[in-house]
Chain A
Amino acid sequence: EAEVAQSPRYKITEKSQAVAFWCDPISGHATLYWYRQILGQGPELLVQFQDESVVDDSQLPKDRFSAERLKGVDSTLKIQPAELGDSAMYLCASSLRGGQLATGANVLTFGAGSRLTVL
């Protein structure tokens, strides 16, 4: 069964260091999402891409976070510099192209996540 691949699964870093997460969505899924999930809370959208274009990055802390999806396939989320409050699970999800609602375009398939601990 097709899945969303994420790496690394776990990352421990020190405050002020740079961190990067990678995501490879399900083949054919035009829309890619990065969510952040703090322990005990629900996922919160950081950035949404359709192909290589950003659809929504209103909740992305742009002073330290950046995301790209250069060829409209895989994506990288970067944090520089990392802060203690960034400790969380970073979830990548993908879905069909936005206009395909009838066939489940907003049904998200999630990866296993990347758990970040900032010391």
Chain B
Amino acid sequence: AQKVTQAQTEISVVEKEDVTLDCVYETRDTTYYLFWYKQPPSGELVFLIRRNSFDEQNEISGRYSWNFQKSTSSFNFTITASQVVDSAVYFCALSEAQTNAGKSTFGDGTTLTVKP
């Protein structure tokens, strides 16, 4: 069965600090997808990134970067020079292509608070 663990329940940083959100996953499928979503205080989850299991290349998008390591079953998310607007709950998710690629299993989220 698929499982996503986000061990950090809450993280608090001061603006401009870098912060890394951890995500560890479990799956028996060889083909799967990993995601990060952001849920701001308004409540609506917003898609940030999707990676498939065959693409371990790290990705950078502005202040955001993602580190995918199959060897440790991790897909960590780093925010560089954090800003107050980054305050939100961040969810990591997994879907198994061989079972049901559309069904995403979510972790319990990490609440990030960025203080001015």
Same complex origin of A and B? yes
Chain A interfacial positions (CB closer than 8 Å to B) = 31, 33, 40-45, 48, 50, 55-56, 89, 91, 93, 95, 98, 101, 104-113, 115
A99 to chain B, nearest CB (A): 9
Complex Cα–Cα for A32 and B112 (A): 29
On chain B, the residues within 8 Å of A93 by CB distance are 45
Chain A residues with CB under 8 Å of B102's CB are: 31, 33, 48, 50, 55, 95, 98, 105-106
Cα-based distance from A48 to B99 in the complex (angstroms): 13
B47 touches A108 (CB 8 A): yes
B44 interface hit (Cβ, 8 Å) = yes
User: Which residues on A sit within 8 Å (CB–CB) of B33?
Assistant: 101, 106
B interface bracket (residues with beta carbon within 8 Å of A):
20 to 34
| Cβ–Cβ < 8 Å partners of B46 in chain A | 110
Q: How far is the CB of B11 from chain A (nearest CB, A)?
A: 15
Report Cα–Cα, A110/B91, bound state, in Å: 13
The residues in B between 6 and 40 inclusive whose CB is less than 8 angstroms from any CB of A are 33, 35, 37
